[in-house]
Amino acid sequence: MIVDDHPVVRAGLCALVDGRETMTVAVEAGTGEEALLRLEEFGAQIDVIMMDLRMGAGVSGIEATRLIRERCDILVLIMTAFDTQADVVAALEVGAIGYLLKGCPADEIARAVEDAAAGRSVLSPSVIAQMMKRIASPATALTPREIEILELLSGGATNRQLARRLFISEATVKTHLVHIFDKLGADNRTQAIERARDERVI
């Protein structure tokens, strides 16, 4: 199944997949919600789901992947234009078997689908570089919670709003911010967000 909110992208991926003797597209979906519905109907025909991450309002690619992995053993290969640590970590945490960028050559995409179907992890080179950076500097690597807080900060959330959104106390939010600033070498929120973007954390 190919899940993407852009018809042109879906058409291109369908042509690529259907052009291979080893695979075919069973069904398409334009939203996370539609993917979950299609899964109920076509699940028996699907081995791999190629999932976009950002599809506008509604169920995101991350949330759809989480729900799919909770419901069945079908493998999900993320296919997106974004390779920030926030997206990569979130996708792998919810059970995606791979993370591929849309700019990859056609042959690489086809091989990735075959590898995913065989249960082998697939990561684009830039994604591997992001993960190696985290592994090489564990002391300064932001935790998934810290990355989540940074993303909310970049949207203008206050400490109180962060606490309510994450179901934690404002004191805990402040503690997280201290750790974030320290790891990024930042003195304030604005600087932390700028450095996180420069380093492709968010």
pLDDT grade for 58, boundaries at 50, 70 and 90: confident
Let me know: does 144 contact 176? Beta carbons within 8 Å: no
Checking if the pLDDT of 202 tops 90, the result is: no
pLDDT digits (tens, 9 = 90+) for 115-161: 999 999 999 888 887 788 777 776 678 888 999 999 999 999 999 99
191 CB-near residues (< 8 Å, 6+ apart): 184
CA distance 164 to 1: 36
CA atoms of 90 and 85, how far apart (whole Å): 8
Single-letter residue type at 44 = A
d(CA 151, CA 59): 18
The helix (H) or strand (E) run that includes residue 56 is none
Q: Which residues of 166-178 are buried (b: 16+ CB within 10 A; e: fewer)?
A: beeeeeebeebbe
